[in-house]
């Protein structure tokens, strides 16, 4: 049994090697930079004190941490540093990447998001009673040019407002829900871990249809499961003991994606819409976070977070 006193004694951030263990997403490139270490250093003292109580309280002396936030905010890197700090104290930690658990590979999920958006918009326009045959022709041209999510297109086509509103409602009902994500599988992993399972089969998903398999992972020496994932504080997730929110605005998230060249259409109006809707979901879930950290590394109370987001015009 783990001696939790290792979590309550004096602590000084250790020097980190160039390579440390990171999440289990195949092909994921994790580059830990000074700002990630600074944030981890701010998060770790209150986290380790909370863990000492959580591990004692759990029947199998295991706890689950969730590290969530927008795309590119540093979830993988900060989770990696936190895991390394725990292991340095003798606390076994495993970092699980939630990006292994969508129902579709990234390319196919991007296509499904777009299909949901466009189908919902087209149906909404029809239900509004404002649909004309020529609108369908215009939409097909906008779809081909990938401009149907661009608010600027409404100047020439005012009826696009009804289309976009309905499209966003449909997309919002898909993003981060069981239609997109296999939350049941992740919940099963969390349950097995907290119930003391020594070996758990974990999914691996690449970027091609054939890149899909399972790995049997040894959890016999692991006390803390760290889930790094946009959805680690989701309403659909069960059993996360300590959610951590890495805050960023949609504009900051977009800048992160540009810097990482996350995909080939980072600047598209549709991608911007997805990021905005995901940000809104993160804001609605933020009240459950045990720790919230701002982009500048300041630990925020929930009230401070709300004020900050209001100033940014996001709440």
- pLDDT bin (cut points 50, 70, 90) of residue 3 is confident
Which pLDDT belongs to residue 37? 96
Q: Tell which wins on pLDDT, 85 or 1.
A: 85
Which pLDDT belongs to residue 261? 52
Q: Tell which wins on pLDDT, 263 or 171.
A: 171
Mean pLDDT over each residue of the chain, to the nearest integer: 93
Give the residues across from 216 on adjacent strands: 201
Predicted confidence (pLDDT) at residue 267 exceeds the cutoff of 80 = no
Which pLDDT belongs to residue 259? 60
Predicted confidence (pLDDT) at residue 211 exceeds the cutoff of 80 = yes
Which pLDDT belongs to residue 167? 98
User: What is the percentage of the chain residues whose pLDDT exceeds 90?
Assistant: 82
pLDDT digits (tens, 9 = 90+) for 25-78: 988 888 999 999 999 999 999 999 999 999 999 999 999 999 999 988 999 999
Predicted confidence (pLDDT) at residue 275 exceeds the cutoff of 80 = yes
Provide Rg for the chain, Cα atoms.
Answer: 21
Which pLDDT belongs to residue 71? 87
pLDDT digits (tens, 9 = 90+) for 79-113: 999 999 999 999 999 999 999 999 999 999 999 99
Region 211-221 average pLDDT: 96
Structural domains for the chain: 4-102+183-311 (3.40.50.300), 106-172 (no CATH)
Predicted confidence (pLDDT) at residue 264 exceeds the cutoff of 60 = no
Range of lowest pLDDT (67-71, 127-131, 176-180, 283-287): 127-131
Whether the full predicted model's pTM is greater than 0.75, yes or no, is yes
pLDDT digits (tens, 9 = 90+) for 138-195: 999 999 999 999 999 999 999 999 999 999 999 999 999 999 999 999 999 999 999 9
């Amino acid at each position: 049994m783990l001696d939790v006193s290792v979590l309550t004694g004096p602590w000084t951030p250790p020097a980190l090697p160039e390579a440390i263990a990171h999440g289990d997403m195949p092909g994921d490139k994790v580059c830990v930079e000074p700002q990630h270490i600074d944030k981890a250093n701010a998060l770790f003292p209150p986290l380790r004190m909370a863990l000492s109580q959580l591990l004692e309280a759990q029947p199998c002396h295991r706890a689950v941490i969730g590290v969530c936030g927008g795309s590119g905010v540093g979830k993988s890197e900060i989770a990696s540093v936190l895991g390394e700090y725990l292991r340095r104290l003798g606390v076994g930690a495993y970092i699980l990447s939630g990006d292994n658990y969508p129902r579709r590979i990234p390319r196919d999920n991007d296509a499904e998001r777009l299909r949901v958006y466009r189908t919902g918009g087209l149906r909404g326009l029809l239900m509004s009673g404002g649909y004309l045959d020529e609108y369908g022709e215009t939409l097909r041209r906008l779809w081909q040019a990938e401009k149907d999510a661009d608010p600027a297109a409404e100047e020439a086509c005012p009826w696009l407002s009804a289309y976009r509103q309905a499209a966003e409602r449909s997309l919002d009902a898909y993003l981060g829900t069981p239609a997109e994500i296999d939350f049941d599988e992740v919940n099963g992993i969390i349950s097995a871990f907290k119930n003391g399972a020594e070996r758990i089969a974990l999914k691996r998903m690449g970027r091609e249809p054939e890149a899909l398999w399972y790995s049997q992972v040894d959890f016999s020496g692991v006390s803390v499961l760290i889930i790094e994932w946009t959805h680690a504080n989701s309403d659909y997730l069960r059993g996360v003991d300590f959610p951590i929110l890495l805050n960023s605005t949609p504009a900051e998230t977009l800048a992160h994606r540009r810097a990482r060249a996350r995909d080939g259409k980072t600047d598209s109006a549709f991608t911007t819409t997805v990021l905005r809707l995901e940000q809104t979901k993160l804001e609605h879930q933020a009240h459950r976070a045990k720790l919230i950290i701002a982009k500048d590394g300041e630990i925020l109370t929930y009230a401070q977070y709300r004020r900050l987001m209001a100033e940014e015009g996001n709440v």
